[in-house]
Structure 1
Amino acid sequence: MTLTAFIASLDQPAPPQELSAPLQALWWDGKGQWDQAHDIAQDITSSTGSWIHAYLHRKEGDRSNAAYWYARAGKSMPFSPLEEEWEQIAAALL
């Protein structure tokens, strides 16, 4: 799936079945469903899950919690717009 197709899938009521858990978390966030995205992200134990978890807490405005998760992901907290980071994560996973 391309990033364009992933973004277009946000028009659907549910995520495409072939999406991995990290992509499902991003998909739900893209739909404006932060809680659903967070529920999925917190169960992903990889560095990718930590990156998504960090992004979600940065979006929430909880920078100290986000900093913890960025450190677990091995990443620095970005200063880029949230939309840009969302696309960066999605592109890296696709």
Structure 2
Amino acid sequence: MVYEDFIHSIESDSIPSGLSIQLQALWYEAKGEWEKGHDLIDHLTDSTSAHVHAYLHRVEGDLWNARYWYSKAKKTEFKGDLKTEWEALVKMLL
């Protein structure tokens, strides 16, 4: 799947098959289902999931928790806007 296809899939009612758990979390967040996205990765400890987890906590406005997950992901805290970080994460994961 390419980025443009992923973006168009958000307009659909069903999530595309074959997406990684991290992309699923970002897909649900883009659909306005933050909690569903968060629930998918909340229990995962790998660095990629931690990076997405950090982003989700930024969306939530819980910066302390976001910083914790950036640290777990061994990533610098993202300082740009949420849309830019979401796009970067999706492109990285595709």
- TM-score bracket, normalised by the shorter chain, equals over 0.9
Identical positions, percent: 45
Which segments of 5 or more consecutive residues in structure 2 lack a partner in the other structure?
none
User: Contact (CA 8 Å) 1:21, 1:44: kept in 2 or not?
Assistant: no
CA-based RMSD of the aligned residues comes to 0.8
CA distance in 2, matches of 1:75, 1:27: 21
| SS in structure 1 of the partner of residue 77 of structure 2 | coil
Runs ≥4 residues deviating over 4 A: none
CA distance in 2, matches of 1:23, 1:63: 22
Deviation of 1:16 after TM superposition, in Å, equals 0.4
Which segments of 5 or more consecutive residues in structure 1 lack a partner in the other structure?
none
User: Contact (CA 8 Å) 1:47, 1:73: kept in 2 or not?
Assistant: yes
Q: How does 1:6-25 map to 2 (within 5 A)?
A: 6-25=6-25
Aligned length, in residue pairs: 94
Q: How does 1:39-78 map to 2 (within 5 A)?
A: 39-78=39-78
